[in-house]
């Protein structure tokens, strides 16, 4: 069982999705950093986590900061992998959503 650490909002909990990746980051490849900021979201009253409710922050460098854009993703390829890929989530698996009502709609690393 994974050691999920959760932040509880008023109605939603965001639980960090621990995933071991090589942690090699360049200004053109930040996937390993993005994998460190994956979350599962769930209603606060729920006791179970559903891998279909994944959050992934697509990172870009902007000046002196790294900015993460909120995307939703099905974490199924990590939970039940079909292969031994060290990067089972692909950018084509991400989908954009209206973030106006999302808790933590973006991420900024200074």
Residue 59: per-residue pLDDT = 96
Residue 86: per-residue pLDDT = 84
Residue ranges of the chain whose pLDDT lies below 70: 1-3
Residue 3: per-residue pLDDT = 65
CA distance readout (Å), 2 to 19, 48, 56, 74, 100? 9, 12, 18, 17, 30
Residue 50: per-residue pLDDT = 86
């Amino acid at each position: 069982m994974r050691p999920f650490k959760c932040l509880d909002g008023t109605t939603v909990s965001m639980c960090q999705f621990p995933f071991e990746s090589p942690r090699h980051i360049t200004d053109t490849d930040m996937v390993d950093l993005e994998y460190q900021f994956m979350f599962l979201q769930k209603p606060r009253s729920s006791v179970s986590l559903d891998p279909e409710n994944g959050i992934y922050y697509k990172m870009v460098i902007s000046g002196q900061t790294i900015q993460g854009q909120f995307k939703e993703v099905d974490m199924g390829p990590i939970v039940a992998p079909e292969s031994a890929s060290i990067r089972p989530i692909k950018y084509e698996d991400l989908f954009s959503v209206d973030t106006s009502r999302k808790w933590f709609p973006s991420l900024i690393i200074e």
